[in-house]
Amino acid sequence: MIAKDRVIAAALAAAMLGAVLFIAAYATGGSRLYEGLSLALSAAGLCGAAVGWAFWILPDEQVEDERDDYPSGASDRAAEDLETTSGLIDVTRKRLLTRMLYTALGIFGLALIVPIRSLGPALGDAAFHTKWRKGLRMQRENGSFVKASDLNVDSVATVFPEGAVGDAQSQTVLIRVGDGVAANAGGYIAYSKVCTHAGCPVALYRTAAKQLMCPCHQSIFDVVNDGAVVAGPADHALPRLPIEVGSDGYLRATGDYPEPVGPGFWERG
């Protein structure tokens, strides 16, 4: 291997070493300094190898091959044999460098992919479901559970699934509308508190009109008409939580929301 090739090989080796050190530092929770230095070493090695490759390996000359007399003389054949032999050596040398280059690129690419772990746990189906499940009681922010006898007619409470107080996706506004409203449980009706426009909490209840209003952009939802949009920029109704009054008098969900809560997204019709 000639000196220039050794320089390229050394640069590629440095690139591989840097990438491996970066992965090791990241996997063991090492300092950001080591991670930065190792990644810089790897990148510098690759850059150096690329420059060396461009200057020393890629041909930059125009070559003319003159037509020889036929048949070749013995001296020409000997010279050809010598050239072929040295060419084979050259091919072998370049093959080694090429393999080193691919290996270095592969490890460097791996080093760039590994930090994806830091993006946190996968979202899973969190965008499609809340923590409401069949049989879960409604829990207030202070931890108490809601009984059917707790609220007066036209009263409102913010509730969460039992054991998931504070879960933003699951926050629900519970309203005691009275028995005159169709399809409610014990005079109660419950809607997602996450506005379907931009996700603000739908916090205001207009008692006389039986409407919920979002304070952010004034979307208004009809409580007695399945949360339909009455006014404002929201383009679909508030999802309604299926509920019942249990035999123990506590209000419970009979399942999750039938559709994703909050603003629409592309998977949603």
Does residue number 165 form part of the binding site for ligand FES (CB under 6 A)?
no
User: x/- site string to ligand FES, residues 220 to 259, per CB under 6 A?
Assistant: ------------xxx-------------------------
Smallest gap, in angstroms, from Cβ of residue 15 to ligand FES?
50
Among 195, 229, 238, 251, binds ligand FES (CB under 6 A): 195
Among 157, 175, 214, 243, binds ligand FES (CB under 6 A): 214
Complex with ligand FES: residue 94 or 206, whichever CB lies closer:
206
Smallest gap, in angstroms, from Cβ of residue 201 to ligand FES?
9
Smallest gap, in angstroms, from Cβ of residue 229 to ligand FES?
10
Tell me which long-range contacts 44-48 makes (C-beta under 8 A, separation of at least 24): 44/14, 44/15, 44/18, 45/11, 45/12, 45/13, 45/14, 45/15, 45/16, 45/17, 45/18, 45/104, 46/11, 46/12, 46/15, 46/104, 46/105, 46/108, 48/7, 48/8, 48/11, 48/14
User: Over 214-242, what HEC string results?
Assistant: CCCCCCEEEHHHCCEEEECCCCCCCCECC
Residues lying near ligand FES in the complex (CB under 6 A) are found at 195, 197-198, 200, 214, 216-217, 219, 232-234
